Amino acid sequence: MAIGTLLYEGKAKKIFSTENPDQVVQYFKDDATAFNAQKRGTIIEKGVINNKVSERLFRLLEQGGIRTHFVERLNDREMLTKKVRIVPVEVVVRNVVAGSVAKRLGLKEGSRIDPAIVEFYYKDDALGDPLVNDDHLRLLNVATPGVLRELREMGHAVNKVLTPFFTERKMQLVDCKLEFGVFHNKLILADEISPDTCRFWDVTTGESMDKDRFRKDMGKIEEAYQEVLARVCG
Ligand code: UDP
């Protein structure tokens, strides 16, 4: 696999072209950011862990009938994926109250949300990724009502496959952030699914096993990421 030019560099990943115009390589970095990139740091081996965890979860979702951009994992830090046009919407699915929804709505952290809810955030760094509703996304010409319906349905479908998988591994899937892209006129799941983009709580101790440990300076960050890898891929 000959890797081509750097197409895009984000906060946690780089995207490279390949000789196939329909495929790109995602390179996973150890760089970590939080609070709209105001906090920066490094989580050692995070890139390797997120690459392997994402591979396992994309394979699981494909088996569950969900289209994803995953093609194959090339090595420790690189994943071959389908080249999509990313829809600039973060689809957040929540099973338990945590983070911004606790703050915004004054809800108690840890309360169950059943059935799960889906939120949309408009991906725009300058605006700080604001929470938006369907009308805002139509106003912004980001997505049609049909696409928004599909994003919400796919968000719930992903959650239905992931939740029991994590329960079996003694982890509670509190919430997750999903991104979708268009590939040959079809919406498919893209980006990554990892402790950077989900909240996982240990079922026994209730401890965070995700990027909240970095956001809140809770310590044992690398250990938590390694434990996620062991439970998901072990
Ligand atoms: N999330 C993410 N990228 C973002 C914002 C949120 O991956 O730019 C994830 C976050 O890790 C959590 C979920 O989306 O699993 C919900 O995050 P929330 O809205 O509670 O915001 P936060 O408290 O993380 O700022």
Q: Give the other-Cβ count within 10 Å of 195's Cβ.
A: 26
Q: Tens of pLDDT along 84-95?
A: 999 999 999 999
Q: Tens of pLDDT along 166-206?
A: 999 999 999 999 999 999 999 999 999 999 999 999 999 99
pLDDT tier at 122 (50, 70, 90 boundaries)? very high
Distance, CA 197 to ligand 1 centroid (Å)? Answer: 7
Report the candidate in 124, 119, 155, 123 with the shortest Cα–Cα distance to residue 134: 119
| Ligand 1, pocket-test mutation among 175, 180, 214, 225, most atoms within 8 A of CB | 175
Distance, CA 100 to ligand 1 centroid (Å)? Answer: 8
Distance, CA 82 to ligand 1 centroid (Å)? Answer: 25
Domains for the chain: give ranges and CATH numbers: 3-82 (3.30.200.20), 85-221 (3.30.470.20)
- Per the confidence metrics, is the pTM higher than 0.95? yes
Nearest CA to ligand 1 atom 15: 198
At residue 2, does pLDDT exceed 90? Answer: no
Report the candidate in 58, 74, 77 with the shortest Cα–Cα distance to residue 189: 58
Q: Which two tokens stand for residue 168?
A: 């079996």
Q: Is the CB of 177 under 6 A from ligand 1?
A: yes
